[in-house]
Chains A and B, each alone.
Chain A
């Protein structure tokens, strides 16, 4: 019997041809590409398959990188720019290990083409801290031991920090909702919840605000 290649939808083909369905942030970034493509790619109608020079705004810096149009943002961050804090686990939008922020909204870097991220403000785990000064969510993760092997941790931190940006006063259910896509095989969830709620509480105390019930996050 000759080798019959398994019938499969090429994810990259799928990404390019059919648009993106998984994360809201990603859909917006696809639109952004349409908006910014001209400037970024000198007005070319079609691009690739060869590598193209692009500039990405990452963690407050503009970085020049040459990517094939099929490269995902996750691959570009990790392999081309050495930003390996962003992890790739499933490479198809089902685990959230690759969560970064695109224009402050959590997005899956494995489901975003690098060229689609042109003109957007990208924040990775490396950009959440200031050098070695940790973001309050990172501090709380360490304090509550919200990690074991740590492979899911950057994605978890990005999801939880984003939650606190949009909802400074979350309830346990809101935290569960915010990390409902983040898989952790080591089972650190209870401590992830505790860490995130702790940050919210500390911030509320620090700002002297009454802890108002903002209800369940939409």
Chain B
């Protein structure tokens, strides 16, 4: 999702709210940030909404550090991921993919592969999903086979009785190509005479998690765009400025590199297709399978019990899912198809960028103009825009952003943790520091001047109180070969809500409580927060709530992209739990000799309001149920107000630059972050640690390297595609800022995007400048790149 789709959704939600409404009642909600003093906010809410929750400090389970619901299963190795699924008679499959970067397939010969003993099915694909498509397909001569536009493009799949035989068979599929000139370099692809990746304009759709790019923009050669946005008047903005900075920044392609690769187990049966998917969206996978195979959704079941990381790249059926389904149908047996590690590096990525920024400010720091032009490549996809931070962090009367996608013959970009924002922030938050240098202002003080966010204000205060910021030395003043510095950067993300967030809560006569929803847990800890919300209503420990999620047989859940999950599903869960509790009280009150409204949960017991000496356990109360089971189903209600909300964080970095070796050592990171009402601080902090470490990894190590002559990814593995490891982990401290927003029955919000991945490269860049007096305009900051920036070695020619 992007800020633009956010606006769109907001309009839809507003339209929905303007329809004749069910009756409302007025409630007072806790509002604001504890550090700034909590307030009350009056809201109209639907009459059957649960009563407002007080602040976390007054709650029993919500807001308290809580053990991960499925922690033991994961620690014991019992958690079954898609890669671990084994079904009776299951076959193993392997994808066959393109070995050339651009060309037409002349012929595919599968006879050798089919002859291999143990082979059960071969499927050659007819359509490639997840990449841009020509606006006018007739611009390409018709062919049985899709045009090859990148090395690694899926061509076929083979299924066999063992993985080893499938691997052997995949190598025996013979593909004959007619090669076409190609380009894998972003800057080369912009040239007028560059080989054309698509013979005409092409567009890519986004996924449930975002990605994709604009479809209504011009295209010239490989350059798709711009997507242009103008507010105010740029000439006036720059005329009003006392200082102007102009700068240029470059970021690289980062691959998602989830440890569990993309993959599916498909069991195609005539009456129902069961799909085990390593996905962030059981709902979006079901929708895509139903769409591709023209099946009713009722006959497609998607299961995701555990999944080994997605980071934005796993939403749909994918080519591997479609192939697995075809193989299963042909072989009449369940088929497991997991991508191998090389394929995983090619299937998705965060696009690169080349950004030009020009910004103007008054001498007191007030921004007068922001102008951003960005070029980025999402390979054969689109969605390389980076304007989020420049548009949404600070208010500026004059803003112009122009975002271009550049097609190259490489694997498609996809949504990746805060799409566009780490790139955008790397440029924009360093440019803000450049302004501070020109204005001779402290970078934190400049942000204090231009940032209107109350949450980030509290967060900056924490930086001042809890870090070394006040002892920051003048830029570049450290002497000696190892130079230390500190820097900050700020992030912004948006409150997205997925209204397709439903669940059922069930109470049985023996007192057991279950929650069911199709929502999935990617490792962010969704199961745990759902258990806490239910536990709070019933006054029982979260571990006693049984959480069953990740199965489309349960009520639909949100697709986990854009940090929507916690904010979307927890209100539905609380409402269902509240409703079933009311039903329970109504059902048992007569046999307890009272009325339902005299029953309340207090300190883990069901208590008579008018006689606190009368207390019962939930078990005792449930035992009086006239039926065996009682349940309630709830769906997300619209936000209580139409306010457009963002989240953010401020991250602080201390680092050392070894000016002789060019190595950058991040020594300390301190982050202050907000995400509405935190439900499980433990899980939130885990996610922020992860975002920060991914951010450091992005800033210092990761980089897809393409062979310009042969057109393939040179480092599609985990030894040459360097990801941060244990040795590069700095000291990390995270503080959560509670931010009550009075928007839903839980006020929860996700943290996945604003968790540090957005800011770290920029904060490292700013700290690098403080240490050395030299601005890092390019990531990753490898030793070679650092020595080049420091003027110690000759500049290399780079993309």
Instruction: List residues of chain A with CB under 8 Å of any chain B CB.
Output: 1-6, 68, 70-71, 75, 78-79, 82, 84-92, 94-95, 97, 124-126, 129, 132, 134, 138-139, 141-143, 145, 147-154, 157, 175-177, 179-193
Contact = CB atoms under 8 A, between A and B. Distances in A.
Contacts of B524: 148
Interface in B670-704: 682-683, 685-687, 689-694
Nearest to A147: B74
A186 B690 contact: yes
Interface in B684-727: 685-687, 689-694, 717-719, 723-727
A191 B83 CA distance: 25
A191 B527 CA distance: 20
B75 A185 contact: no
Interface stretch (B134-142, B243-251, B255-263): B255-263
Nearest to B109: A3
Interface of B: 67-68, 70-81, 83-84, 86, 92, 99-100, 103, 162-164, 171, 174-179, 257-260, 306-309, 311, 340-341, 522-525, 682-683, 685-687, 689-694, 717-719, 723-727, 729, 732
- Sorted nearest first, the 10 A-B pairs with minimum C-beta distance are A85-B77, A149-B523, A151-B308, A187-B690, A150-B74, A125-B77, A187-B693, A84-B84, A148-B523, A142-B71
Contacts of B70: 150
B696 to A, nearest CB: 9
A84 B259 contact: no
A189 B522 contact: no
A189 to B, nearest CB: 4
Name, among A89, A141, A149, A152, the residue most crowded by chain B CB atoms within 10 Å (CB to CB).
A149
Contacts, number: 187
Nearest to B179: A1
Given A145-B683, A182-B726, A190-B729, 17 more contacts: A87-B308, A92-B719, A95-B718, A126-B77, A134-B72, A150-B308, A151-B81, A151-B258, A157-B75, A179-B726, A180-B727, A183-B718, A185-B257, A186-B309, A186-B690, A192-B726, A193-B729
Contact of A91 (B178, B340, B686): B340
Given A78-B84, A151-B259, A188-B686, A3 B72 contact: no
A130 B623 CA distance: 35
Contacts of A124: 77
B67 A142 contact: yes
B311 A2 contact: no
Interface SS majority for chain A: loop
A190 B671 CA distance: 14
A191 B718 contact: no
B694 to A, nearest CB: 6
10 contacts: A1-B177, A78-B84, A92-B719, A141-B75, A145-B682, A151-B81, A152-B259, A176-B727, A190-B729, A192-B726
Contacts of B174: 3
Given A91-B341, A151-B260, A190 B77 contact: no
A149 B307 contact: yes
A4 B151 CA distance: 13
B89 to A, nearest CB: 14
A31 to B, nearest CB: 25
Given A84-B86, A97-B259, A157-B75, A149 B309 contact: yes
Nearest to B729: A189
A90 B717 contact: yes
B83 A5 contact: no
B693 A92 contact: no
Nearest to B732: A190
Contact of B691 (A152, A187, A188, A189): A187
B689 A187 contact: yes
Nearest to A72: B164
Nearest to A131: B76
A149 B520 CA distance: 11
